[in-house]
């Protein structure tokens, strides 16, 4: 029987669907040492971002040659050593389409929060303060939003922000494309120089330096805002902190951190930062779509193999 380990949780309707197909589904988060012992007993490993699928886990899985497929429920594959899995004959898939709307909506939430001090007002009013004069915000209509990385989430953010009257400019490593001609393409320096808000939507490559560091922040407009709903490592957190303290940046929004949970990261204690605990894809709709995609990936992957006999037999 096909054995599936769901290590970081999965939407319950999709789990039920897998169980109804008579797969042996185990929903359990194992710490690293235990995962090393357990992983060899499964054909499929489903993770989100909490489980790090490192070389030693892949080596342990390869001992029995049973594990065939690792699925990341979500987009970023930075918690999985994809290349090494390939070397050991294990396929890796993700669910790239499921969360774009949710992440884009979170970005807009942060933009509104920074523009109108919502994150601060929520805290200070609970402490009995009435800071009406302090919270003099800005309108976002007419402001320029610079999007770095014009993939699924970047484009969805652009579409929604445009509908709110923002001017959109974008930069992507692959260059401009005819199909996005309704938005202005810039190189990175131009984008940084003209944007009131800069939002980053690129994958994180562990080997690379942060896309936004000290030098890039220097090139940004004074009083601009930076949003990171991509991955912790794409922004240099020390440089960001310095820019907030010096007043170079008016604010930042951070959903993702170099180290998560973020614990005592000084960004979490900064009143110019609108914070969320890596919840870009944490909506009912995104989780439902992720669950559906995972079921589909499993069915397609094992189609024609032993899976068929299970499906036919139910
Ligand atoms: P995508 O692959 O569709 O798009 C990424 C885009 O970035 C591509 O167009 C690519 O060409 C471009 N790019 C890559 N490197 C670049 C660079 N150095 N400079 C400029 N452009 C570059 O990915 P997506 O679905 O849009 O996801 C983007 C990011 O969002 C990923 O890092 C993903 O991990 C993150 N994400 C976060 C959450 C969350 O919970 N906060 C949820 C989903 C995805």
pLDDT digits (tens, 9 = 90+) for 211-252: 999 999 999 999 999 999 999 999 999 999 999 999 999 999
Q: Which residues pair with 185 in a beta bridge?
A: 170
Q: What is the mean pLDDT of the chain?
A: 95
Nearest CA among 6, 3, 1 for reference residue 30: 6
The pTM of the full predicted model, rounded to 2 decimals, is: 0.93
- Residue 162's CB is within 10 A of a number of other CB atoms, namely 14
**Own/partner pairs for 180-183, CB < 8 Å, 24+ apart?**
180/150, 180/155, 183/150, 183/158
**Average pLDDT of the residues in 86-94:** 97
- Helices within the chain (DSSP H only): 12-20, 32-38, 55-62, 82-87, 100-116, 118-126, 152-163, 188-194, 214-219, 237-246, 284-301, 306-313
For the chain, give the percent of residues with pLDDT over 70: 97
**Average pLDDT of the residues in 153-164:** 98
Smallest CA separation from ligand 1 atom 36, residue: 230
The answer to whether residues 201 and 228 touch, using CB atoms and an 8 Å cutoff, is no
Query: What is the band of 161 on the pLDDT scale with cuts at 50, 70, 90?
Result: very high
Q: Which residues pair with 204 in a beta bridge?
A: none
C-alpha dihedral, 183 to 196 to 114 to 182, nearest 10°: -10
Ligand 1 contacts CB of residue 99 (under 6 A): yes
The answer to whether residues 62 and 70 touch, using CB atoms and an 8 Å cutoff, is no
**Average pLDDT of the residues in 274-292:** 97
Mutate to test the pocket of ligand 1, among 76, 80, 105, 149 (most ligand atoms within 8 A of CB): 149
The answer to whether residues 95 and 46 touch, using CB atoms and an 8 Å cutoff, is no
Query: What is the band of 304 on the pLDDT scale with cuts at 50, 70, 90?
Result: confident
Using CA atoms, how far apart are residues 309 and 1, in angstroms rounded to an integer? 10
Using CA atoms, how far apart are residues 106 and 150, in angstroms rounded to an integer? 17
pLDDT at 310 over 50: no
Ligand 1 contacts CB of residue 204 (under 6 A): yes
Interhelix angle 100-116/284-301, rounded to 10 degrees, is 160
**Average pLDDT of the residues in 144-161:** 98
Ligand 1 contacts CB of residue 286 (under 6 A): no
> What is the pLDDT, as a whole number, of residue 205?
84
């Amino acid at each position: 029987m096909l054995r599936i380990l769901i290590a970081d949780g999965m939407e319950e309707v999709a789990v039920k669907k897998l169980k109804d197909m008579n797969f042996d589904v185990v929903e359990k988060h194992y710490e690293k040492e235990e995962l090393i012992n357990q992983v060899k007993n499964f054909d499929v490993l489903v993770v989100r971002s909490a489980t790090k699928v490192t070389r030693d886990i892949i080596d342990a899985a390869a001992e029995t040659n049973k594990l065939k497929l690792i699925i990341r429920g979500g987009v970023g594959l930075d918690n999985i050593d994809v290349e090494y899995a390939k070397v050991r004959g294990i396929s890796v898939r993700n669910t790239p389409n499921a969360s774009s709307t949710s992440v884009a909506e979170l970005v807009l939430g942060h933009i509104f929060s920074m523009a109108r001090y919502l994150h601060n007002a929520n805290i200070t009013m609970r402490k009995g303060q009435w800071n009406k004069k302090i919270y003099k915000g800005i309108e976002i209509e007419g402001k320029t939003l610079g999007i770095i990385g014009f993939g699924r989430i970047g484009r969805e953010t652009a579409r929604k922000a445009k509908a709110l009257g923002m001017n959109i400019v974008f930069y992507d490593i692959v260059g401009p494309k005819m199909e996005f001609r309704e938005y202005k393409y810039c190189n990175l320096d131009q984008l940084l120089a003209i944007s009131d808000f800069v939002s980053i939507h690129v994958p994180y490559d562990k080997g690379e330096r942060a896309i936004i560091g000290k030098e890039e922040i220097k090139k940004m407009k004074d009083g601009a805002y930076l949003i990171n709903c991509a991955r912790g490592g794409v922004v240099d957190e020390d440089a960001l902190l310095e820019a907030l303290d010096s007043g170079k940046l008016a604010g930042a929004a951070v959903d993702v951190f170099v180290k998560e949970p973020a614990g005592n990261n000084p960004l979490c204690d900064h009143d110019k930062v609108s914070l969320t605990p890596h919840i870009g894809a944490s909506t009912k709709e995104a989780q439902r779509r992720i669950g559906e995609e995972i079921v589909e990936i499993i069915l397609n992957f094992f189609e024609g193999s032993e899976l068929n006999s299970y499906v036919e037999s139910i």
